[in-house]
Structure 1
Amino acid sequence: MGIIGLLIVGIAAGFLATRLMRVEVGVVPTILIGIAGTLIGAVVIRMVLMITGFLGGLIGAVLGAMLLVWLWKMIGQRR
Structure 2
Amino acid sequence: MKTVIVFFNGKPSKVITVLKGVTSIREEYPNGEEINLQIMSAGFPSLTGDHEIIYVASDRELTSEEVFDAAKKYL
The structure carrying a bigger helix percent of its residues is: 1
TM-score, normalized by length of structure 1?
A: 0.25
Greater RCO, 1 or 2 (C-alpha within 8 Å, sep 6+): 2
TM-score, normalized by length of structure 2?
A: 0.26
